[in-house]
């Protein structure tokens, strides 16, 4: 229920129809008893400036930003947090009395599931498959936490470009898919940052099952379905698995903390995960 004190939050992107952000944020806001409302806004690229003027004019408290606006929004904001500045991408806008501050909680959200499992990252080797926005966030976070990163991408030139961009943060190399077996033998962590295995292509996997083993942590950023073929095969072969829904919930929790000042803990995250899994189904 809303009243005259209800504050507005939302998501801008295109498309936004299937976003999990509304059920996630609405669930956590209700759980914490916070008087906010979260809506989605499909915003075309050429309307981005007008949308932000609307945020200022209407006093909208904050927005999530998704594809294709995460980079385009950067020059339109008043300030950036150091993470957003370093990533050149914003997924959270906070309206501080008319001053729009861009933040990036994807890296933090990516690391949190590893942190709660006590996974050490310092000087550990990680293989990230993919070289798009999610791979950039994961690799950036891993390098900042002291890990060594190998980027493996279908289009190797894109992996090389990303590796060059991140190289000031720590040891990062780019490789083509044939290097995957050798790289995985020496790695502790595998991250899938491609959409391979996402619904409706649930029979596909980015990494052959023979390369998965006990002692490897397999983290799939795909969250629909919650358990991908990659994760099911990794689990069957004795690997520790982490699904993309966890990153999604943690980056959302951090955004809510920025907007509302409330704190959300592991119990809230577990409840939100159950809520979202229930909506997505298991398969």
Q: Which residues are catalytic?
A: 70
Residue nearest to ligand NAP as judged by C-beta position: 132
Q: Does 133 bind ligand NAP (CB under 6 A)?
A: yes
Instruction: Tell me how crowded residue 149 is: count the other CB atoms within 10 A of its CB.
Output: 28
Of 24, 61, 22, 70, residue with least CA distance to 43: 70
CA pair distance 29, 257, nearest whole angstrom = 11
CA pair distance 138, 113, nearest whole angstrom = 12
Candidate residues 80, 198, 230, 242; the one interacting with ligand NAP per rule CB under 6 A: 198
CA pair distance 196, 205, nearest whole angstrom = 6
Residues 204-263 that bind ligand NAP (CB under 6 A): 221-223, 244, 247-248, 251
CB-based contact 10:60 (threshold 8 Å): yes
Residues 58-117 that bind ligand NAP (CB under 6 A): none
Closest contact distance (angstroms) between CB of 123 and ligand NAP is 25
Q: Does 132 bind ligand NAP (CB under 6 A)?
A: yes
SS3 state of residue 241: strand
CA pair distance 81, 91, nearest whole angstrom = 11
Looking at the Cβ atoms of 86 and 161, the one nearer to ligand NAP is 161
CA pair distance 231, 250, nearest whole angstrom = 19
Looking at the Cβ atoms of 61 and 254, the one nearer to ligand NAP is 254
Closest contact distance (angstroms) between CB of 62 and ligand NAP is 18
Looking at the Cβ atoms of 95 and 108, the one nearer to ligand NAP is 108
Candidate residues 65, 128, 134, 216; the one interacting with ligand NAP per rule CB under 6 A: 134
Q: Please give the residue ranges that form the binding site for ligand NAP (CB under 6 A).
A: 130-135, 153-155, 158, 193-196, 198, 221-223, 244, 247-248, 251
């Amino acid at each position: 229920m809303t009243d005259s004190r209800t504050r507005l939050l939302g998501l801008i992107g295109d498309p936004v129809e299937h976003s999990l952000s509304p059920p996630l944020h609405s669930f956590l806001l209700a759980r914490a008893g916070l008087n906010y409302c979260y809506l989605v806004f499909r915003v075309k690229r050429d309307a981005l400036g007008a949308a932000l003027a609307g945020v200022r004019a209407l006093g909208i408290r904050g927005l999530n930003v998704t594809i294709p606006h995460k980079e385009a929004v950067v020059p339109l904001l008043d300030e950036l947090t150091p993470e957003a500045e370093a990533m050149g991408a914003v997924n959270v806008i906070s309206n501080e009395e008319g001053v729009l501050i861009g933040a990036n909680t994807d890296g933090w959200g990516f690391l949190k599931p590893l942190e709660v499992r006590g996974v050490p990252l310092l000087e550990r080797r990680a293989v990230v498959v993919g070289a798009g926005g999610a791979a950039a966030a994961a690799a950036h976070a891993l390098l900042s936490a002291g890990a060594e990163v190998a980027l493996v991408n279908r289009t190797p030139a894109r992996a090389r470009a990303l590796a060059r961009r991140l190289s000031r943060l720590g040891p990062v190399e780019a490789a083509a898919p044939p290097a995957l077996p050798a790289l995985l033998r020496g790695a502790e962590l595998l991250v899938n940052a491609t959409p391979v295995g996402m619904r409706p292509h649930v029979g596909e996997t980015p990494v052959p099952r023979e390369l998965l083993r006990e002692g490897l942590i397999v983290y799939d950023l795909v969250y629909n379905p919650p358990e991908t073929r990659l994760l099911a095969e990794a689990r069957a072969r004795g690997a520790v698995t982490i699904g993309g829904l966890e990153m999604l919930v943690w980056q959302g929790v951090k955004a809510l903390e920025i907007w509302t000042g409330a704190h959300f803990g592991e119990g809230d995250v577990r409840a939100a995960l159950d809520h979202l899994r229930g909506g997505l189904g298991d398969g």
